[in-house]
Structure 1
Amino acid sequence: MKITRRALLGSSGALALTGAIPAAARSVKAAPNLWIGTGGDGHTYPGATMPFGMVQVSPDTDTENWANCSGYHHGDPTMMGFSHTHLSGTGIADLMDVLVVPGRGAVKLLPGAPDKPGEGYRQTYTQEVTEPGYYAVTLGNGVRSELTAETRVGWQRHHFPAGPGHLLVDLGNYRDSRPGEGPLIDESRIELDTDGTLTGSRRTFRWAKGRRIHFAMHVSPKPDRITLYADTQGVNGAIVTADRVRAVLHYDNAGAAPIVVRTAVSAVDMAGARTNLAASYFREFDVARRQAIRNWADTLKVVKVEGGTDDARVIMTTALYHAMIAPTLFSDVDGRYVGPDREVHSVPAGEQAYSTYSTWDTYRTLHPLLTLVAPDRAKSLVRDLIRQTQQSAYGPPCWPLQGVETGTMIGWHSVAIMAEAAAKGIDADYAAAWPAIRTRAFDPAAPDLVNSRARGTYIERGYLPADTVDESVSRTQEYAYDDWAMATLAQKAGAKEDADRLRLRSRNYRNVLDPAIGLARPKFADGSWLKPYDPIQLGHTKRYRDFTEANGWQTTFLNQHDLYGQIAHFGGDAKFASRLDALFAAPSTLPKDAPPDISGLLGQYAHGNEPDQHVPYLYAYVGQPWKTQALVRKLLDTMYRNAPDGIIGNDDCGQMSAWFVMSALGFYPVDPVAAVYVFGSPLFTHAEVRVGKGRKLVVEAPGNRADTPYVAAVQWNGKPWTKSWISHADLAAGGTLRFTMSATPNPAFGAKLADRPPSFGQPAA
């Protein structure tokens, strides 16, 4: 998607906008549209889960393609069945465990080709219905299937036509292997217990290498018989073990009554799965469904909006839903879980363990959103991250998935999540995490993963040379931001000298910003800059890419924490502002080998990927917040749609959605660790936000319309507010934030030095 700057900002500074203008503010409740994100590259799924739940029971249309990272892609011609664990919005596929396939006729043990229904057990499908906590579909064989969920238990109900039918339970639903790799699944097992419960487990080697999953399944009514398979070979007895195993539950008259399947999972062992199943609150599908729907309805009440367009309100509610899915619960009902050391641990009483932390993405907006609207959940998450930091050989987590540190992306941004929580007053034992964090910060001999490659070189030189380290420019800048976050944690732990050292080191980002051209630029080991240099390119050789899912334009503004340092480095306000203008005005062209993650281009700004998402707000730091207002409103209107392809890039465990929620409310955490929000352009006329027990934030923008993107004035609790920002402490205490909106800019608002956002712990002036 490409948008020219000419369409965004006219020469007079007015914004050219289109769209329906509501006659008056409306308070009609907008139900979420869970198809949003299931098409395009959003990578979300339509199935049933609970807020931050352990189980995500959802249909799988494929398990292999990049489009199917969540297991589902809108418009795929066939469906495999329904599995119990899924990732929401990621760019890598995994999970999709314990696949259940309702079948009729001859038993087929393999799925077959995606475009050939009937070749295997794949089927066509129609009449899909999805809402928070519920999904239903009619399969090509005439079976009507329904899904719902409890926190640790997935429910399925299948309505068969009269006559024979069966359920296939497939633990071999990945392809055999990838080139140059071993099997993707091994050590699989299914047992038929004496009470009729089906239990089992498998080990997988997709993204999270060596991940184990266990399950316990209760089916009612009981099948007439069960056959077990080692791969595709039938076996006798009540236990089957092999790399890939399957079970088929046969019914002589499957249509006699709905077949209800309850499945619990555990990362610990099959006994843990059985305990989770036994703790299931309900024994009827409809009761579980009603409770799931009620739970989601209450969860989504944390933000209520009025005004705007019908589509905008639907997108807002859906974005909030997607922001409440991950991180996912990982501890069993008895408190046991698998830590990043692959050992079994137990959480302290009243606490929980979690998985699925996409920290490179979510530290930016998802976690700040939770800190504001769900502070108890934020506290639970940060306490879990502290435990994981203590348990992991690598210290602070990067991308942990079900007990496995994948090391995906760059940096170790869980420190940013912990530092943000500390800066905003979330109660946790940060000092307990500091020894492991300190090792990551200062010991070049500490074990590294891909995410922390060449950390010792960074510590020694202050930057990573482009001729020796891949993605050197992005790594240098993101390591520097983690230095900033670690400085906050060091201060919290009482390590003042370490904090001072890290703050100084956090300015290393400047070592890969060439002030002569005002761009990020690869630097070699001898200190020279790459020449010739085209910031459109991804790398200076095929071997070395200089940036992470970005190019030189997008990486120029990675810095979030020392904005006034970067402004000075580039030569002052005017030059920095012109660089921002140039970013949004540049041709939206990319090299042929650009990854699909670089999407949602407005000039060279890429909204569909995380590194740039704070950049529209940077105009506030040079006293030009009206440009921020214009950009934010345009991005809200054009980068999100009420359609399956309505998220311009991977939702990344709710990060893209969280950006919409916070920006639509009118403020954004440019530097989450700074504990302040920069104003943008609210999308609605009225919003109410729960910010803790008994506290409410009201955001008003009376008369706000599609053609009034600019902020003429602000009031806080009835008093004039001249700043272009506000603190977290103010918003979290509750109150009324009132925007006066306008069709034309007010260049005076937020222009004074004293009214600009603080950065690096200091005000602009």
Structure 2
Amino acid sequence: MLTRRALLATTATVAVTPLPSFAATPRRAAPNLFVGTGGDGHTYPGATLPFGMVQLSPDTDVARWDTCSGYHHGDGSIMGFSHTHLSGTGIGDMLDVLVVPTRGPLQLQPGPIDNPDAGYRQRYSDEHAEPGYYRVTLESGVRAELTVTERTGWHRYTFPKGAGHILIDMAHMILDKWDSGPLIDDGSLTLHADGTLTGSRRVHRWAKGRRIHFAMQLSRKPDRVAFYGDDDAEQPKGATSVAAKRVKAVLFFDDAGAAPIVIRCGISAVDVAGARANLQAEAARGDFDTIRRAAARRWAGTLGAVSVEGGTADQRTIMASALYHTMVAPTLFSDVDGRYVGLDRQVHTVPTGQRAYSTYSLWDTYRALHPLLTIVAPDRAKSLVDDLIRQTQQSPYGPLVWPLQGVETGTMMGWHGVSVLAEAHAKGIPADYAAAWPAIAKRSFDFSAPDLDNSKGRDLYDAKGYVPADKWFESVSRTQEYAYDDWASSKLARVAGAEAEAERLLKRSGNWRNVIDASIGFARPRFADGSWWKDYDPIQLGHMPKPWWRDYTEANGWQATFLNQHDVYGLIAHIGGDAKFEAKLDALFTAPSTLPKNAPPDISGLVGQYAHGNEPDQHVAYLYAFVGAPWKTQKMVRRLLTEMYKNDPDGVIGNDDCGQMSAWFVMSSLGFYPVDPVEALYVFGSPLFERATLALPGGKKLIVEAPGNTAITPYVTAVTWNGRPWTKSWIAHADLVKGGTLRFTMSATPNPAFGRAPADRPPSFGRTLA
């Protein structure tokens, strides 16, 4: 089963300073790019632009789950600097085109992390990162600086006086003890007459069969170039190219320290010509410092979408860091000429003015990251929606799951691209949603259509109303996630005029009931004959040993019980009504925080059996509002905001998952959260700051005020919207994006009357209790 568990199972001086362009607005904190690089956050500190194609960052290791991003804070050495990275994922890949500036004897292998002297690894110091720029001093004395445009990486290496060399390692990649077969089966490097070095490789790691191509130019001509093939076999003297599986090139400089060496490198997933075109379009003019300043301005404008006042200095930095991490993925995937590799493995061209993207961690990001973008970056949300529709049409599997670099990995359960589309339509983002419907219909109803792990058992789900636990692994989560996607797809079916199919999907979206045993009030594995798992313990993840895997996806019975996001009132009734459901929520947060030995480390950040470090339950604290007890939501949300995030490398309690953990913090610290994104509304929680200002299109602003808000005032006693009393415990997206002032009155004691009336509770499944 392919889940985010990686197919893998020093202390540097960290200096983080504000962007120069922020100097005029001292209340705006600068992001700390090292937040999430320690612990299990799996982020990287290097240079990228908002949603950019290039992520130019240092790599410290490739063989541990800790280093899915290639970097882990606290590792004592750096292998080099590669051009592509994943942010916060639980599976590793990428790390393309490693550049290693160094001195001394030539070494072609990195060596082990516990013995940097045995290879080209280098210890380091004076590490510094800010949006769009990274700097470090290597033990060879080389000062390395990195910056980027969207599709090119810029390196500036300042060597000490004397000889030095730069290794280009195309064999560098994430490794895994379970890998078999050639992980790279095609590689090449060529030095052209104009001095440009180009290269390509095909990689079979997570996104199996993906290709990467590059074109690189240097500010100084090397005195000698050597090429190496498989087993580090040196090519004949004077060779200008090499073709093998694992290729390398070394650029030698007799006096590397004579002047800084600047490298400009364009990349493309299409071909070398695309990489050359990207390089020419984005790096033909300007110098390193000009590019760095442009990157800083770009980030200042993007991060300026949200500013906050109040809270602590650390909380403001956490907010800026979280916002930054919500703006690095999905990543640009189309070249300057609009070409990209579709999920059918064919080369396509986007319409003029549009873009293709990769790195959609949809099982995670549909929950809060995409909803956040509809508020703070609606133009980007529109661009992503257009791309999702186009790639849904092109994929042999229909709605997107977890596409990476032109490959549908099928990671995690369901096909949650439909949630992002249905949400965008509900929020009025214009797009050709009907164009995606045929592919969605095929995924929903054609059980002979090709499957990946994420969609197994659809036929049984349709026929029986659930996926039997004796037929397919992770059956409980499958049933619930398929039901949510049916809910979202029913909305898109209506857009396409497919009313009968919409009704079928709507009815089928109630299948979640069939894996929640009302007699015990828990999500429970169910077998093909209709019986339940008898020796049931909600702490356990499964009823059978490997290789059957588990009954839940990165969850157990406790956590899966509350997975339902779209029919909350149906779930409340199924559990036994408001009082029983509220008590069940209380029990979730107060149960012993014990897990079985086979629990994946994704289940982290425990409060009772609630796991904040993983996505399935990240909406659950907000469910109290649906039983008229939003004060309990307020209490728990404030606790999670203050306990689960820190201004430190291990400041994210679990994998950041392409910004979802960060998006939860941003949304929740503003005081509201999308329990069901398709419903296009937000449930109130507990704002963290005294004032937040969100820049909206057309010069409008959304201001969220909580005067006098402090650590001891987590409770909301009253709300006003544009000066008028607001008794509801929620607000619609359509209201917020008009702009205005949302004002919370905060208190150290709760107001149980606020939001208690049925008419003031949030809608769910298109229904209200009014």
- TM tier, smaller: over 0.9
Q: Residue 277 of structure 2 aligns with which residue?
A: 275
Residue-pair matches, total: 740
Q: Report whether the alignment pairs 1:85 with 2:100.
A: no
In the alignment, which of 694, 701, 704 is matched to residue 696 of structure 1?
701
How many angstroms apart in 1 are the aligned matches of 2:203 and 2:293? 34
In the alignment, which of 540, 547, 559 is matched to residue 554 of structure 1?
559
Q: Residue 154 of structure 2 aligns with which residue?
A: 155
The answer (yes or no) to whether the contact 1:154–1:262 under 8 Å persists in 2 is yes
Map 1:424-443 onto structure 2 (within 5 A). Answer: 424-443=427-446
Q: Report whether the alignment pairs 1:266 with 2:268.
A: yes
Map 1:578-617 onto structure 2 (within 5 A). Answer: 578-617=583-622
For residues 166-223 of structure 1, the C-alpha deviation after alignment (integer angstroms, 9 at most, x for no partner) is 0000001137885562111121000101110000000001100001000000111111
> For 2:117, what is the secondary structure of its paired residue?
coil
For residues 562-615 of structure 1, the C-alpha deviation after alignment (integer angstroms, 9 at most, x for no partner) is 011111111110011111011001000001111000000000000000000000
For residues 336-371 of structure 1, the C-alpha deviation after alignment (integer angstroms, 9 at most, x for no partner) is 000000000000000000000000000000000001
In the alignment, which of 333, 338, 341 is matched to residue 341 of structure 2?
338
How many angstroms apart in 2 are the aligned matches of 1:322 and 1:365? 13
Q: Residue 243 of structure 2 aligns with which residue?
A: 241
How many angstroms apart in 1 are the aligned matches of 2:769 and 2:303? 37
- Displacement of 1:517 in angstroms is 1.2
How many angstroms apart in 1 are the aligned matches of 2:500 and 2:125? 63
Q: Residue 518 of structure 1 aligns with which residue?
A: 521
How many angstroms apart in 1 are the aligned matches of 2:370 and 2:173? 32
In the alignment, which of 659, 668, 674 is matched to residue 669 of structure 1?
674
How many angstroms apart in 2 are the aligned matches of 1:713 and 1:522? 42
Q: Residue 297 of structure 1 aligns with which residue?
A: 300
The answer (yes or no) to whether the contact 1:176–1:185 under 8 Å persists in 2 is no
- Displacement of 1:27 in angstroms is 6.8
Q: Residue 145 of structure 1 aligns with which residue?
A: 144
Q: Report whether the alignment pairs 1:423 with 2:443.
A: no
Q: Report whether the alignment pairs 1:412 with 2:411.
A: no
How many angstroms apart in 1 are the aligned matches of 2:83 and 2:114? 24
Q: Report whether the alignment pairs 1:253 with 2:258.
A: no
How many angstroms apart in 2 are the aligned matches of 1:417 and 1:27? 35
Query: For residues 328 and 595 of structure 1, do their structure 2 counterparts lie closer, same or farther at Cα, with a shift above 3 Å needed?
Result: same
Map 1:601-640 onto structure 2 (within 5 A). Answer: 601-640=606-645
C-alpha RMSD of matched pairs (Å): 1.1
> For 2:316, what is the secondary structure of its paired residue?
helix
Q: Residue 317 of structure 2 aligns with which residue?
A: 314
Identity over aligned residues, as a percent? 69
Specify every segment of 5 or more residues in structure 2 that has no aligned partner in the other structure, as ranges.
1-24
How many angstroms apart in 2 are the aligned matches of 1:179 and 1:349? 43
Q: Residue 9 of structure 2 aligns with which residue?
A: none
Given residue 272 of structure 2, which amino acid in structure 1 is its aligned partner? M
The answer (yes or no) to whether the contact 1:202–1:213 under 8 Å persists in 2 is yes
How many angstroms apart in 2 are the aligned matches of 1:119 and 1:345? 45
Q: Residue 364 of structure 1 aligns with which residue?
A: 367
Query: For residues 57 and 180 of structure 1, do their structure 2 counterparts lie closer, same or farther at Cα, with a shift above 3 Å needed?
Result: closer
Q: Residue 100 of structure 1 aligns with which residue?
A: 99
For residues 592-643 of structure 1, the C-alpha deviation after alignment (integer angstroms, 9 at most, x for no partner) is 1110000000000000000000000000000000000000000000000000
> For 1:318, what is the secondary structure of its paired residue?
helix
Map 1:498-537 onto structure 2 (within 5 A). Answer: 498-537=501-540
The answer (yes or no) to whether the contact 2:604–2:653 under 8 Å persists in 1 is yes
Query: For residues 635 and 178 of structure 1, do their structure 2 counterparts lie closer, same or farther at Cα, with a shift above 3 Å needed?
Result: closer
For residues 454-495 of structure 1, the C-alpha deviation after alignment (integer angstroms, 9 at most, x for no partner) is 111111111011112100111100000000000111111111
The answer (yes or no) to whether the contact 2:95–2:174 under 8 Å persists in 1 is no
How many angstroms apart in 1 are the aligned matches of 2:190 and 2:41? 37
Q: Report whether the alignment pairs 1:229 with 2:234.
A: no
- Displacement of 1:691 in angstroms is 2.6
How many angstroms apart in 1 are the aligned matches of 2:438 and 2:173? 40
How many angstroms apart in 2 are the aligned matches of 1:561 and 1:508? 12
Greater CA deviation, 163-172 or 280-289? Answer: 280-289
How many angstroms apart in 1 are the aligned matches of 2:234 and 2:724? 76
Q: Which structure 1 residue ranges, 4+ long, deviate > 6 Å from structure 2? A: none
Given residue 706 of structure 2, which amino acid in structure 1 is its aligned partner? A
Query: For residues 751 and 89 of structure 1, do their structure 2 counterparts lie closer, same or farther at Cα, with a shift above 3 Å needed?
Result: same
- Displacement of 1:764 in angstroms is 2.0
Specify every segment of 5 or more residues in structure 1 that has no aligned partner in the other structure, as ranges.
1-25
The answer (yes or no) to whether the contact 1:79–1:122 under 8 Å persists in 2 is yes
- Displacement of 1:106 in angstroms is 1.1
The answer (yes or no) to whether the contact 1:154–1:264 under 8 Å persists in 2 is yes
For residues 421-469 of structure 1, the C-alpha deviation after alignment (integer angstroms, 9 at most, x for no partner) is 1110111100001001001111111110011111111111110111121
In the alignment, which of 657, 676, 682 is matched to residue 687 of structure 2?
682
How many angstroms apart in 2 are the aligned matches of 1:161 and 1:69? 32
How many angstroms apart in 2 are the aligned matches of 1:551 and 1:630? 24
How many angstroms apart in 2 are the aligned matches of 1:51 and 1:665? 22
In the alignment, which of 638, 648, 663 is matched to residue 643 of structure 1?
648
Greater CA deviation, 662-671 or 570-579? Answer: 570-579
Given residue 716 of structure 1, which amino acid in structure 2 is its aligned partner? W
How many angstroms apart in 1 are the aligned matches of 2:598 and 2:516? 24
Q: Residue 8 of structure 2 aligns with which residue?
A: none
How many angstroms apart in 1 are the aligned matches of 2:520 and 2:46? 49
The answer (yes or no) to whether the contact 1:396–1:412 under 8 Å persists in 2 is yes
For residues 488-537 of structure 1, the C-alpha deviation after alignment (integer angstroms, 9 at most, x for no partner) is 11111111111111111101001011111111111111111111211000
> For 2:118, what is the secondary structure of its paired residue?
coil
User: What TM-score results when the alignment is normalised by the length of structure 2?
Assistant: 0.95
Q: Residue 540 of structure 1 aligns with which residue?
A: 543
How many angstroms apart in 1 are the aligned matches of 2:257 and 2:55? 26
How many angstroms apart in 2 are the aligned matches of 1:280 and 1:434? 37
In the alignment, which of 376, 385, 390 is matched to residue 373 of structure 1?
376
> For 2:509, what is the secondary structure of its paired residue?
helix
- Displacement of 1:411 in angstroms is 0.4
Q: Residue 351 of structure 2 aligns with which residue?
A: 348
Given residue 571 of structure 1, which amino acid in structure 2 is its aligned partner? G
Given residue 244 of structure 2, which amino acid in structure 1 is its aligned partner? A
How many angstroms apart in 2 are the aligned matches of 1:177 and 1:317? 34
Query: For residues 299 and 213 of structure 1, do their structure 2 counterparts lie closer, same or farther at Cα, with a shift above 3 Å needed?
Result: same
Q: Residue 406 of structure 2 aligns with which residue?
A: 403
Map 1:12-27 onto structure 2 (within 5 A). Answer: none
The answer (yes or no) to whether the contact 2:174–2:205 under 8 Å persists in 1 is no
Q: Residue 725 of structure 1 aligns with which residue?
A: 730
The answer (yes or no) to whether the contact 1:27–1:306 under 8 Å persists in 2 is no
Q: Residue 58 of structure 2 aligns with which residue?
A: 59
- Displacement of 1:693 in angstroms is 2.8
> For 2:374, what is the secondary structure of its paired residue?
helix
For residues 383-414 of structure 1, the C-alpha deviation after alignment (integer angstroms, 9 at most, x for no partner) is 00101111011001100000000000110000
Given residue 249 of structure 2, which amino acid in structure 1 is its aligned partner? A
Q: Residue 22 of structure 1 aligns with which residue?
A: none
Map 1:447-458 onto structure 2 (within 5 A). Answer: 447-458=450-461
Q: Residue 123 of structure 1 aligns with which residue?
A: 122
Greater CA deviation, 573-582 or 279-288? Answer: 279-288
Given residue 137 of structure 1, which amino acid in structure 2 is its aligned partner? V
User: What TM-score results when the alignment is normalised by the length of structure 1?
Assistant: 0.96
How many angstroms apart in 2 are the aligned matches of 1:218 and 1:159? 17
Given residue 523 of structure 2, which amino acid in structure 1 is its aligned partner? A
> For 1:73, what is the secondary structure of its paired residue?
coil
How many angstroms apart in 1 are the aligned matches of 2:178 and 2:731? 53
Q: Residue 465 of structure 2 aligns with which residue?
A: 462
Higher relative contact order (CA 8 A, sep 6+): 1
Query: For residues 175 and 751 of structure 1, do their structure 2 counterparts lie closer, same or farther at Cα, with a shift above 3 Å needed?
Result: closer
How many angstroms apart in 1 are the aligned matches of 2:175 and 2:572? 53
Q: Residue 577 of structure 1 aligns with which residue?
A: 582
How many angstroms apart in 2 are the aligned matches of 1:211 and 1:481? 30
Q: Residue 480 of structure 1 aligns with which residue?
A: 483
Map 1:174-185 onto structure 2 (within 5 A). Answer: 174=173, 179=178, 181-185=180-184
- Displacement of 1:115 in angstroms is 1.2
> For 2:252, what is the secondary structure of its paired residue?
strand
The answer (yes or no) to whether the contact 1:685–1:700 under 8 Å persists in 2 is yes
